Structure 1
Amino acid sequence: MFGPCPYGKAKGVSDSHGETIVVPAEELTEESTDAIQLFLNEIRQYPLLTKQEEILLSKRIEQGDLEAKERMINSNLRLVVSIAKKYQGHELALLDLIQEGILGLIRASEKFDYRKGFKFSTYATFWIRQAIQRGVENKSRTIRIPVHIAQRERKIVRATRQLATDLGREPTDAEVAVATELEVGDVEEARKSARAVTSLDKPVGEEGETAFGDLLASDEPSPYEEVQETLREETVHRALGKLPEREREVVKLRFGMGGDEPTPLRETGRRLGISPERVRQIEAHALKSLSNEGELESLLAA
């Protein structure tokens, strides 16, 4: 339930969970509130999917089944609304935020790989947030980007998305440069130009207490990093669960699981009461087992 609206006049509409979404006064028109309510009423008819249903739909989507893609998207529209609500007051009207989020959801349905064992909603959250944030950023730009830089930026964005999907992590500038056939300096310049066109001190948010720069890179994890970390943790947990307890302990220490630094052979042996050579043997056997199970790549990327 949303609290008092800081804009004065406001009108509430009920979302798919029966909660009230407060529409700010400047967005308040009969047409807009009717459109929002109509959309929320529409998405109620689409039931949430089970994990098995997600897998079956994903297989059909890979084969070009548009009906399966439509069902996957429609069944996750609640997620779009849930995320879009958090960005109210950031330059875009709620309907526009939802529309941007749907574009991200569509992209997620096209890129989702059910074989990795992750929930679709976890994966889609990154794409939805990214699409909404990009919409907010584009709305907030105060300086026109030169055409050649804009074209280069789009090329870099496309390559970054593809590499993130392929690698399971955010690609480096060098990797993006190879994929786009650009110099590393060009990639860095384009990204700096994209950030520079927005006034970082421009107030946004419901009460204007947040600067737009707060939406850009910081020491805090980005939505992308948060989702990727969740995916990595799920992968590692699943991989380690297949190992005997002693092998699991060795791998955790050697690879620095749980936020710790990787532990040298000798220190690992000291902690477990075994020789460094025995540690090496156990580690080798564990990695061979994970490799046979197809889990080694996921573990090494964690």
Structure 2
Amino acid sequence: MTKIGKKVNIRANQSLERYLQEIGEVDLLNTEEEIRLAKIINYKPDEDPENVDGKKPTYSLREQQTALEKLTQANLRFVVSVAKQYQNQGLSLGDLINEGNLGLIKAAQRFDETRGFNFISYAVWGIRQSIL
């Protein structure tokens, strides 16, 4: 490996280490918090016939985006654990994590909290599908 290749490898490893450290500092969510965030993410005011009088809470796009970010950030560690299972199959761990994160975001957008599943039980399929 050339000097430049080694430097790139070192920087990639440092970036990955920093990323892992940062996601390790994010608090995990309990089931009630996951459900609350999913309700905010999936809320569509024009599809809610019970809210004609405006008494039920409504959420702005900013609140929905914040809820999506919080739900995904709290589950990034799980993406890393799934990505590690697919190491040494052609992609770097960083690339596997990136693909898994995309699957996590899609899962968070599609999660139906009314079905009774924990979010991560649902999300694992989207994460694996994105990685593969």
TM range (shorter): 0.7 to 0.9
TM-score normalised over the length of structure 1: 0.35
Identical-residue share of aligned pairs (%): 43
CA RMSD of aligned residues (A): 1.3
Could you tell me which residue of structure 2 aligns to residue 73 of structure 1?
72
Aligned to 1:56, what secondary structure does the other structure show?
Answer: helix
Could you tell me which residue of structure 1 aligns to residue 41 of structure 2?
61
Could you tell me which residue of structure 2 aligns to residue 34 of structure 1?
14
- Matching of residues 213-228 of structure 1 within 5 Å: none
Could you tell me which residue of structure 1 aligns to residue 46 of structure 2?
none
Provide the C-alpha distance between the structure 2 equivalents of 1:93 and 1:30, rounded to a whole number of angstroms.
13
Query: Which fold has the larger relative contact order, with Cα–Cα distance below 8 Å and residues 6 or more apart in sequence?
Result: 2
Cα displacement string for residues 98-154 of structure 1 (whole angstroms, at most 9, x for unaligned residues): 000000000000000000010000000000000000xxxxxxxxxxxxxxxxxxxxx
Could you list the runs of 5+ residues in structure 2 that have no partner in the other structure? 1-5, 44-60
Aligned to 1:95, what secondary structure does the other structure show?
Answer: helix
Aligned to 2:82, what secondary structure does the other structure show?
Answer: helix
Please state how far the C-alpha of 1:48 moved relative to its aligned partner: 1.0
- Matching of residues 125-274 of structure 1 within 5 Å: 125-133=124-132
The aligned amino acid for 2:117 is F
Provide the C-alpha distance between the structure 2 equivalents of 1:80 and 1:70, rounded to a whole number of angstroms.
15
Provide the C-alpha distance between the structure 2 equivalents of 1:50 and 1:83, rounded to a whole number of angstroms.
20
Aligned to 1:29, what secondary structure does the other structure show?
Answer: helix
The aligned amino acid for 2:37 is L
Does the alignment pair 1:92 with 2:102? no
- Matching of residues 271-290 of structure 1 within 5 Å: none
Does the alignment pair 1:49 with 2:29? yes
- Radius of gyration: which is bigger? 1
Provide the C-alpha distance between the structure 2 equivalents of 1:47 and 1:90, rounded to a whole number of angstroms.
31
Provide the C-alpha distance between the structure 2 equivalents of 1:102 and 1:118, rounded to a whole number of angstroms.
20
The aligned amino acid for 1:54 is E
Provide the C-alpha distance between the structure 1 equivalents of 2:38 and 2:91, rounded to a whole number of angstroms.
32
User: Which runs of 4 or more aligned residues in structure 1 lie more than 6 Å from their structure 2 counterparts after TM superposition?
Assistant: none
- Matching of residues 291-302 of structure 1 within 5 Å: none
Could you tell me which residue of structure 1 aligns to residue 103 of structure 2?
104
Please state how far the C-alpha of 1:77 moved relative to its aligned partner: 0.2
TM-score normalised over the length of structure 2: 0.78
Provide the C-alpha distance between the structure 2 equivalents of 1:68 and 1:118, rounded to a whole number of angstroms.
18
Structure with a larger share of its residues in helix? 2
Aligned length: 107
The aligned amino acid for 2:65 is L
